[in-house]
């Protein structure tokens, strides 16, 4: 299922804000942790996306 550009933008903005708030650095580990936290470890959706989709959006090259 394609991910809407608006949803991708919201996830990336949320990720950037989370990195800033936690003083974390961009990394695959940070992307994975953000996805887990935002989806309650896979039991909920974030901006209509699953944990795997959120992580994939963050890790896609810009």
pLDDT > 90? residue 54: yes
Task: Decide which of 4 and 20 is more confident.
Answer: 20
Give phi and psi for 4, each to the nearest 5.
-65, 145
Segment 42-62 mean pLDDT: 91
Instruction: Tell me the domain boundaries of the chain.
Output: 5-59
Q: What is the pLDDT of residue 5?
A: 85
Neighbours of 27 (CB within 10 A): 11
54 Cβ neighbours under 8 A, 6+ residues apart: 11, 34, 35, 38, 39, 46, 47
For 5-49, write each residue's pLDDT tens digit. 888 999 999 999 999 999 999 999 999 999 999 999 999 999 889
Q: What is the pLDDT of residue 1?
A: 56
Helix and strand counts by DSSP (H, E) for the chain: 3, 0
């Amino acid at each position: 299922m394609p991910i809407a550009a608006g949803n991708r933008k919201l996830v990336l903005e949320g990720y950037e804000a989370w990195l800033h708030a936690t003083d974390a650095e961009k990394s695959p580990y940070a992307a994975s942790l953000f996805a887990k936290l935002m989806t309650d470890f896979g039991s909920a959706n974030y901006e209509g996306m699953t944990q795997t989709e959120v992580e994939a959006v963050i890790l896609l090259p810009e």
